[in-house]
Structure 1
């Protein structure tokens, strides 16, 4: 090969008994390519390689390596909460760890190509990825969106994305669009064929889909193009049973389900009454909460969405839907429906912007994992005589018994399609306890106590051993506790942070969607008893100590080691 020249070479490798990549055992090989001139090594390149087979089947659903698998997914925006939109690998890894622990096995990148580092993590951690290209084509959704660049750039952008991402084992399907306006006229047919052909030319191995809103064939010009391998639909769960009749022989995915609103630690009763906010596309919301909160009982949703429980139930009842992507995994910056400013981040997440699980996290964990789950809500600080709805999410058990100050309030069992059990309890201060049992044997016990006055701060770091690379992070959870160690559910103290050693406060948060405090401050008010401090390393090694203090509370410290 001469100076400055280029050449293509094709090599075939065979693996006799490959270890297969899966969502539970994401085994990766490395393919090392070396370029040599004589004996001199000029360049080297490593490509991760996972070996797996998968298929969508209209009759039997989705399978990975020949075994049936339900796609249990979430949609993820790109931002990382208090850190903003810039890529930080550890922040993305933490999000994926929390989703993995919930039982999630798939991510839809909504609605743009993800960072390469994100796909590297999904390869390593065992997530299937729907890699999505566009949120709009030629027809605009907003005045300054990608429709202005589509004509000139879409071909190049799509080719670059497929070439960049096609070696990632985690990517199992390409999406060429989300709720595209060309669904409604014949330009949708031409563009769908053109975009799908581009994908297939560069990667003939994976299916192509597009997230659609219209579930009537006559109204959907994207599905009429006849080239999508899988038909994916957003919302409208009541129509799932009709899909096989409307689109015979097709394979189906639910690309967006739920879109319910929750604010962590806030509860509106009665818990079994649904708040549709707003009630339609033309009516302004006037019935919301003055403090811009939504209930953590999973009982508030927009007219086009539904509760998490109703959406998941519909997926369970319709096996022809091969899987679902919940809107959304985490709260994200922007789109603060149903509220106007000063609400500034979304309410849709299963986890809040700080990465603290909302109660609904445990509903999914009880459904999506085999590990024993028992989650009791709400907190136990109410007004004397108030009737409180007490819920429990559970699995691996026949029943749950609830006790208040040692006195049984009865046993409950999930009936038919139930995803939780409930008691209506006249409030009395003290100890609320749930016990789950299987065959009479105790599986798990959960206890919530009435909290006294706030007394102290507790700090918990997700990781104490860090890399001194100016990028690594420790996410430190701040909890305001009473003297006995109970979380104080309405604590709103201003917590001040100081760091000694080779580290900095990279961001602070509390998960409240309408907080106007800076993400880049050295203090944060607790919200419903909790806050977050994100500590970032520098290039120096050493001990990093975070100190947290607030007026009237015993302060706390946590020490991290950076190497």
Structure 2
């Protein structure tokens, strides 16, 4: 009887200790915030009653007006940085008894310090790296209150060449595990052998053990396909003396559904750890089965299929909501890029949010995952060069271990236009960084973005650290590269830097470089309204037009692909102007998410869908000679009509990816028809707009999740009586909202609009403005209303559930 009761007691103890093997709690709610330094806020007894209440993620900089005195980037005025504090009071959860508890931050910009109950947990200078702290020893007993205090220092500026944001701008989680558990980022899944018939899935596991229990463990690995069907399973016993090592299992998957941008098939790998038949930990890992390789002569192969990398570079800000991570905002960007034909993203020039890679896995994008914009030599006075020596090894290792299971990630970039490229110090550093990457993932190539093509300039590739050479801009020198570097694959890591403002059309035929050289830092005699023509004929002095940059890669098989600078306009770097310009002109899509005309050039080249796009608008002075362009595909010629009269047919030449006419303006209708073998493919009309008549609202989605994060993007357009957009309309639109939502931001895509992007009022730019609606956590109806002086208010309904 004693033995029976002893057994029951042991089982009861196991049940208490190992119930709920792993819990992850959303830790974004009920924070308090104070802008300004409060050194005593780290103490438990500090009174924060007057502080602002908010939920995370949060970027305090985006809430301000743009001003010249804010040196947040190295070019003119921007948004403020500063020092701020966050505090959160929480009760120790009841399920933490005999558990290990960590707090996980996906990203804080920057120089964060974290305390719990007055005890300093640590510091982290890098604003883009995910990290976590063990808070187990410092927690109060169950159901007693704890205080997390956090200081963020983004006051020393400029520290970035683009807009960084400020604060806890990514998600925060509380992770609760058993004493025996899978280590942080302790599962690594690779596919060393892949064919249409069978794939080998290699599963590597690292465990952690803070308990005194010393019995062997069992590790079960299951692989499920997208429908949840079990396709592979294996169980392995782990002796006590191997708990500190790597546990490796190989599983075979028959007839795998391969991952690619066209078919992003995903699998779920479930890792379970048992001790004495009791489940002590479980982790689900999403992966994809694919193979890829680079070839010196023929470029990139994905699943043994020659594949041109059709990529864009993206900074991390999300327009009007700033650096604040939001899944729907990222998804919207990727949807637009997908429709353009994009199959790859370069995360310029920093690690992305984890949710961004989740979306790339699911939606089908290859990702060049980039670690650093500088090493020891600075680009800005207060940038990461000050922390590189102490922190680069840990930061890079954390990045690789966090992101290595994503099938979308196909390359690691250890730097961008690094200053050490020009002396011998770069050779050693590059070799060291590559070694760190390969220590944690030897399945993907390492590259870096290079600015020079001359071996005499002491390239960092001399260390043999790089598996692929990524060149920035040198499109005119591509043909010389195989002669100089014939043993190593090549990719255009960054190209173009063409400049455009949506809806602006300065008539010109030749490529203009603004600024003309490095001596002219900012444009002289530019447009008084700080705009750049939307015709594809203006670029920064180091770049070229979209057409020329793409053709240089398109026509050369040895170039694996292209990453265009950039997919979207972003905050900061307003080349060719200084303040009051405050955001970039490089994007194929503007900051508000409205495509510029060149978007359709890429769509005509990168997709198989029929395209016919006609520009510019058709509101001009009588008799003015207008350059009319058309982008098209799946046709051999385009005919242009003005008010029913043919102006002739044109076909693309080998030098251009569009056709054009010079047309004296005459009010009415401009019409283009594309033909293939004499048969009509598509028709496109542009009409002269009359007087502004009414506002039209369009929403990308009218049903949202009531989760406090989901977004709807509402476009306001001013049109004439017939519904034609008025191309020069700049009326002030006042947005108001009622119901279960709030206005998260507004924008219009104009690079010199200095009004805070968080304000509910916005002037139209070229007839358009954007309002971003954010759902609350309550189900119901949202009503967004737009009104302008002299026009009838118009509303749109959105449901949340």
Partner of 1:277: 514
**Cα separation, 2, equivalents of 1:501 and 1:87:** 24
Partner of 2:785: 547
Equivalent position SS for 1:340 = coil
Contact 2:424 / 2:458 at 8 angstroms: preserved in 1? no
Q: 1:38 offset after TM fit, Å?
A: 4.4
**Cα separation, 2, equivalents of 1:66 and 1:287:** 52
TM-score (norm 2): 0.69
**Cα separation, 2, equivalents of 1:7 and 1:241:** 51
Contact 1:217 / 1:247 at 8 angstroms: preserved in 2? no
Q: 1:246 offset after TM fit, Å?
A: 1.1
Pair 1:460 & 2:701 matched: no
**1:260-289 deviation digits (Å, cap 9, x = unpaired):** 10000000112x122211111112521211
**1:491-526 deviation digits (Å, cap 9, x = unpaired):** 001111111210000010000000011211111100
Give the one of 16, 41, 50 matched to 2:288: 50
**Cα separation, 1, equivalents of 2:435 and 2:290:** 24
Equivalent position SS for 1:13 = strand
**Cα separation, 2, equivalents of 1:53 and 1:14:** 15
Contact 2:297 / 2:557 at 8 angstroms: preserved in 1? no
Evaluate the alpha carbon distance shift between residue 220 and residue 462 of structure 1 in structure 2; reply closer, same or farther with a 3 A threshold.
farther
Q: 1:254 offset after TM fit, Å?
A: 0.4
Provide the alpha-carbon RMSD of the alignment: 1.2
Partner of 2:447: 209
Partner of 2:598: 360
**Cα separation, 1, equivalents of 2:254 and 2:658:** 48
Which range is displaced more, 533-542 or 39-48? 39-48
Pair 1:475 & 2:713 matched: yes
Equivalent position SS for 1:4 = coil
Which range is displaced more, 149-158 or 495-504? 495-504
**Cα separation, 2, equivalents of 1:260 and 1:452:** 32
Partner of 1:499: 737
**Cα separation, 2, equivalents of 1:3 and 1:297:** 63
Q: 1:416 offset after TM fit, Å?
A: 1.8
Partner of 2:527: 289
Q: 1:36 offset after TM fit, Å?
A: 3.6
Question: Which structure is larger by alpha-carbon Rg, 1 or 2?
Answer: 2
Equivalent position SS for 2:693 = strand
**Cα separation, 2, equivalents of 1:246 and 1:554:** 66
Equivalent position SS for 2:346 = strand
Q: 1:417 offset after TM fit, Å?
A: 3.0
Q: 1:3 offset after TM fit, Å?
A: 6.2
**Cα separation, 2, equivalents of 1:125 and 1:174:** 20
**Cα separation, 1, equivalents of 2:671 and 2:707:** 45
Q: How does 1:116-515 map to 2 (within 5 A)?
A: 116-270=354-508, 272-283=509-520, 284-515=522-753
Structure 1 moving runs of 4+ over 6 Å? none
**Cα separation, 1, equivalents of 2:296 and 2:685:** 46
**Cα separation, 1, equivalents of 2:210 and 2:347:** 41
Q: 1:7 offset after TM fit, Å?
A: 5.2
Equivalent position SS for 2:250 = coil
**Cα separation, 2, equivalents of 1:322 and 1:136:** 25
Unaligned runs of 5+ in 1: none
**Cα separation, 1, equivalents of 2:279 and 2:718:** 58
Equivalent position SS for 1:469 = coil
Count, aligned residues: 562
**Cα separation, 2, equivalents of 1:533 and 1:518:** 13
**Cα separation, 1, equivalents of 2:726 and 2:800:** 32
Q: 1:348 offset after TM fit, Å?
A: 0.2
**Cα separation, 2, equivalents of 1:376 and 1:60:** 35
Q: 1:557 offset after TM fit, Å?
A: 1.4
TM-score (norm 1): 0.98
Unaligned runs of 5+ in 2: 1-179, 181-208, 213-242
Contact 1:217 / 1:223 at 8 angstroms: preserved in 2? no
Q: 1:530 offset after TM fit, Å?
A: 0.3
Q: How does 1:6-85 map to 2 (within 5 A)?
A: 9-38=247-276, 40-85=278-323
**Cα separation, 1, equivalents of 2:623 and 2:439:** 68
